[in-house]
Amino acid sequence: MYSANYAKHYRQTGLDSAVLDASPHRLISLMLSGARERARLAEACLARGDLARKSQAISDACSIIGGLNGALDLDAGGEIAGGLQALYDYAQRRLVEANARNDAEPLREVDQLLGEIETAWNAIASANAGAAAPAQEVSP
């Protein structure tokens, strides 16, 4: 019992440190990852018949997606931000359906959708890191 609590505390401390040290771009990446993790946890809980924990995981995923939705700047983000807003709204509706119907399919769908966004979001960071790297001189 003590080792399980210690491990949970250690993971939470690591997550807290990652959040405190993260850039705004990294925070969005962590939120996407967290929402996906909660969707997968809900699916696993559903398979085990742990409906209370399934509901909590879905509630957590909805909260994270709500935070992502609230962080959108619709004026600056234009069409892309509008598309993300629609997708986040859809994902939340699907999570509510999964919870109400005890159906794993919407959980897998949300995980996949958020995974595609996460991949694209992380590619932006990689592209920016490559563009920010100083050019190396070539010797004759």
Alpha-carbon gap, residue 111 to 33, rounded angstroms: 9
Express each pLDDT in 122-134 by its tens digit.
Answer: 998 777 766 554 4
What predicted TM-score, i.e. pTM, was given to this entire model?
Answer: 0.78
- CA distance from start to end of the chain: 65
Mean pLDDT throughout 76-98? 96
Answer for the pair 29, 121: CB distance below 8 angstroms, yes or no: yes
Q: How confident is the model at residue 109 (pLDDT cuts 50, 70, 90)?
A: very high
Could you give the 3-state DSSP secondary structure of residue 19?
helix
Cα dist from 114 to 51, 53, 65, 90, whole Å = 23, 21, 9, 11
Average per-residue pLDDT for the chain: 85
Q: Domain extents for the chain?
A: 9-111
Angle between helices 24-48 and 51-70 (to 10 degrees): 160
Q: How confident is the model at residue 54 (pLDDT cuts 50, 70, 90)?
A: very high
For 33-72, letters b (16+ CB in 10 Å) and e give bbbbbbbbbbbebbeeeeeeebbebbebbbebbeebbeeb
The reported pLDDT for the residue numbered 101 is 98
Alpha-carbon gap, residue 8 to 24, rounded angstroms: 25
Does residue 70 carry a pLDDT above 70? yes
Does residue 56 carry a pLDDT above 60? yes
Mean pLDDT throughout 87-116? 98
The reported pLDDT for the residue numbered 38 is 98
Instruction: Give the range among 43-47, 85-89, 94-98, 134-138 with minimum mean pLDDT.
Output: 134-138
CATH of domain 9-111: 1.20.120.340
